[in-house]
Structure 1
Amino acid sequence: MNPLDATKSGFLLCIAVCMFIYTFSYLKDLLSEGQNQHKFHMKRAECGFYPDELCSALFVGKNAALKIGNSCQSTYQPKPLSCIQTSCNCSTVLQTLHFITRPLSAEEGSFSLAYIITIHKELEMFVKLLRAIYMPQNIYCIHVDEKSPRDYKVAVQNIVNCFENVFISSKREHVVYAGFSRLQADINCMRDLVHSKVQWNYVINLCGQDYPIKTNKEIIQYIKSKWNGKNITPGVVQPLHMKHRTQVSYREYVHSGRSYVYPTQTKKAKPPHNLTIYFGSAYYVLTKEFVEFTLTDARAKALLEWSRDTYSPDEHYWVTLNRLPDAPGATPNADWKGNIKAIKWKDQEGTSHKGCKGHYIRDICIYGLGDLQWIIESPHLFANKFEPGTYPLVMDCLERRYRLRVLSQAEVPIEGHWRLQEHNYFNMRLEV
């Protein structure tokens, strides 16, 4: 064989080997993708599907399902929730919005939770959150931002009117992001809750873009097993890079639809009662005894007044008081433990998570479809933030999974209207 023929033969052999390796790799990936799952194929002309199949594939991170979901998400036409823009009779509200109307177990019935929910927009998201966490033995204080449109307030009131254990805060704030008004909104609800006839055990605060990961039963069992009468306020001694928040005076600016917090040149006095200021989460799980303590204790009242002109005081107020050794349910030696809320912070990309699959706002991830697997695998009780107008299928998948999980844990007969309705959301088809 001459050198030229030998070269040609070697080249052809190399091509054959490469094609074999590529084909083997492709078939392996294809089989792996389809193992124990339906295979997903896009149709050129249309896109219609069975939501449960697609959601199941998204929860285990199937790339084909992610491609389908992302490509068709822009065509989503959300089906409006009935009875929220108009006034329906309350029986219809409970039925059509699928609210659970009885305690699902003896354990849950004897352990009541209180919720504080601050909202200002996205009515349907509020209803989705409320019906997810609603149980008749619990109690719910809703703080509606004073600057919200009138029709929004009326619609929320129409829903609230149908429940004896859901009410709107007796005093409403014009909430400014990172301002004292956000902390005051929670305190307003706490004052209402301590006078409630419901004998609740713990209070949890949420915002309108939160959604639960754990069921009501799982939340109770987590509190009992891990904390047992203790408050959950994740945080640490105020770091150096956060001291600017409490070293100078801040003011809230509210004018012509714009609102924000800005620093002044005025230096603040030292914290009252020689308190050590901590920094942590604005979200908490607090005992009723601790709430009563914060509303009556002289140190708590003094810290509240001192915090009026600080930046984002809800991120230091609760955690600071809960580090006082004599506070009810205090955890003086606690740190970031607590697992209250799963959040993808931009500065934690590469450490606690592998990036946001939706987009960031104020360095917090608005979850996309690619975040679903991370969310359901999180040990946290709730997740934040969701934007159903941008990523509608994210919310739909979580809702369906969450309600099925809740009902699977029930120890009482399931009523028909507790199940979420089955319906197709897109013009998309999944081929098996």
Structure 2
Amino acid sequence: MNDNKNLVLAVVLSVLILVGWQIAFPPPEPVDQPVEQATTQQSARQDASGDRLAPSTPDISVSDLVRDAKSREEIVAGDERVNINEELVRGSISLKGAAIDDIVLTQYRETIEKDSDNIVLLSPKGSEMPFFARFGWSLVAGKGSLPGANDMWQQTSSCGDLSAECDLALLWNGPDGLSVKRTISTDKTYMLTIQDEVINQTDTTLSVAPYGLLRRVGLPQLENFYIAHEGFIGVANEVLEEVDYDDVYEDGDQSFSATGGWVGITDKYWMATLIPDQSSKNITKMRADRQANIATFQAEYVGEDLQIPAGGSTSYTHRLFAGAKVVGFIDGYAEEGIQRFDLSIDWGWFFFLTKPMFLALDILFKFVGNFGVAILILTVLIKAVFFPLANTSYKAMSKMKALTPEMTKIRERYKDDREKLQKETMALYKKE
């Protein structure tokens, strides 16, 4: 029984040491793989030297910050929308701007009470805490108009709600010969895939660039737990980038030029992440702004220029992860080719210990349905693994205990002769 107590105490002390180390010595910023910094002047196509700059995403406007007198539910009910109907997620997509701005996590609640509200991750403009994603196109060269935040899309799919069995098909027709076809699909977890096709029915060649943005209005309530990052997060050129909300204000916008990767905003347990085409170049950016005394944060990326000949078309595929940071889902997407998506969960410096222990606990929990019991079982299993080592230690201790009387006699006999005491002690050890 005492051995069990000692083992549990050792595990607890080990965890405390790990947590204390993380707090006292936070991991340094990665420096072994520097990322090429991109220009911050995104509104122009060329600088004085003629070098290419990224097109701009839509700027943050005061209209995004205005709180509506209506509740979030009333705002959602008052718009033209297509519902999202899945086991893990429910919500809707607005036909105005094709904004993905209504995501509710059905498996998680605000408190441990069974009747508490589900977690609301994404909310529309005008709600108390707007947080939404939008995808679109910037016109780089040529004349024409492309859909914006206030343009209405037409649903062309006939199967109703968006689900794993029914993709959502949208269409936008412009006044000057440009149109966009969009297909949105879900995979029964927290990932949405957005496939766009831009059709050029004008008589000239155009150049366009795809973009995705994720906008959060207002600073959320932070856990402020030192080993759990909350704020901007992303991967550029295999390097994890974690930037606090305050740091973007103090240091300015953060920009990175990369191939593939991803960028988003994370809370302790949930996150929303924009994922560009993993084989294409892009410029990702983390931005902060303050208008009308309200903080606004935006993660975004802009893809490389795509040429559309007269009468031709071009396409691009975006993805949006909006949900709980479930390890199995996250690791699965990383294995499918999303660059270092597993880094969206911070396991700390001792990930080689913390992640295997979590995975073992998770497996046991799925079997027994109780984390307390799972911890006890894991403790027994750890003790079983280290039993040979512990047993050897017990045998050595037993032998030492048996030698105690002889050791006492030697100490009394040679208490005034230290050299002789050491020789006799070593002889006794060799004999036994």
TM-score bracket, shorter-length normalisation: under 0.3
Of structures 1 and 2, the larger Rg is shown by 2
Compare the two structures and name the one with the higher strand fraction: 2
> Which structure is richer in relative contact order (CA contacts within 8 A, separation 6 or more)?
1
